[in-house]
Copies of this chain bind each other. A is one copy, B any other.
């Protein structure tokens, strides 16, 4: 189970299975039900999560009570409200399971101790954040570069399987438009294909 995490770490840095075994006590295995919140906007954010199975999303509440999704996490991604987690502030985002999920969690205190005891893990997390940062920049690039329709097509062609797994409402929110407009797009494209 936690073997998946070991593989993931080993893909980035040199690590012995002995070292990994010694680190295990810092991690906890968690079973999460669909729609369960792991981090809640406005509450402290004490854990960081690694997805073994299923999927998570991150969103914040808009003034009219809607949920604006800004990220997804699937297998092999870490997710939390990084800012709140690292600074010990209250969360600006909610992290919620989209499907039943298995995740590994680590608390802020354990993370600090882990990094102190196994400094080579700094390198692993440096790479993780480097990649997350790069991905977030590309996200911004696409938001500006593509029209809503292009953005949808781009995402649909990049993650055809994932798109089947998630409610259109959430997808529309992630892409930055209304579910109504997504309906319109799909209808238009279905007609076009005939």
Residues of A whose CB lies within 8 Å of any CB of B are: 60, 62, 68, 70-71, 82-83, 86, 92-93, 115, 119-120, 122-123, 125-126, 129-130, 132-134, 136-141, 143-145, 176
- Going nearest first, the 9 A-B pairs with the smallest beta carbon separation are A129-B129, A83-B134, A126-B126, A136-B136, A133-B133, A122-B122, A122-B123, A82-B134, A129-B130
**B residues near A130, Cβ cutoff 8 Å:** 82, 86, 125, 129
Min CB distance, A14 to chain B, in Å?
A: 12
State whether A70 touches B129 (Cβ < 8 A).
no
Taking a contact as CB atoms under 8 Å apart, the answer to whether A144 and B86 are in contact is no
Closest residue of chain B to A123 (Cβ to Cβ) is B122
* Copies of this protein chain in the complex: 2
Give CA–CA (A185, B82) in the complex, Å. 34
Pair B138/A139 contact, Cβ less than 8 Å: no
- B residues less than 8 Å from A60 (CB atoms): 141, 145
Query: In the assembly, what is the distance between CA of A115 and CA of B122, in Å?
Result: 11
| 10 A-B interface contacts by CB (under 8 A) | A60-B145, A68-B144, A70-B137, A71-B137, A83-B134, A93-B141, A132-B133, A136-B140, A140-B143, A144-B176
Complex contact A143–B143 (CB within 8 A): yes
Given contacts A70-B144, A140-B140, 17 further A-B contacts (CB under 8 A): A62-B144, A70-B140, A71-B137, A82-B130, A82-B134, A82-B137, A86-B130, A93-B141, A119-B123, A122-B122, A122-B126, A126-B129, A129-B132, A129-B133, A133-B136, A136-B136, A143-B176
Across the interface, do B134 and A86 meet the contact criterion of CB distance under 8 Å?
A: yes
Q: Which residue of B lies closest to A71 (CB)?
A: B137
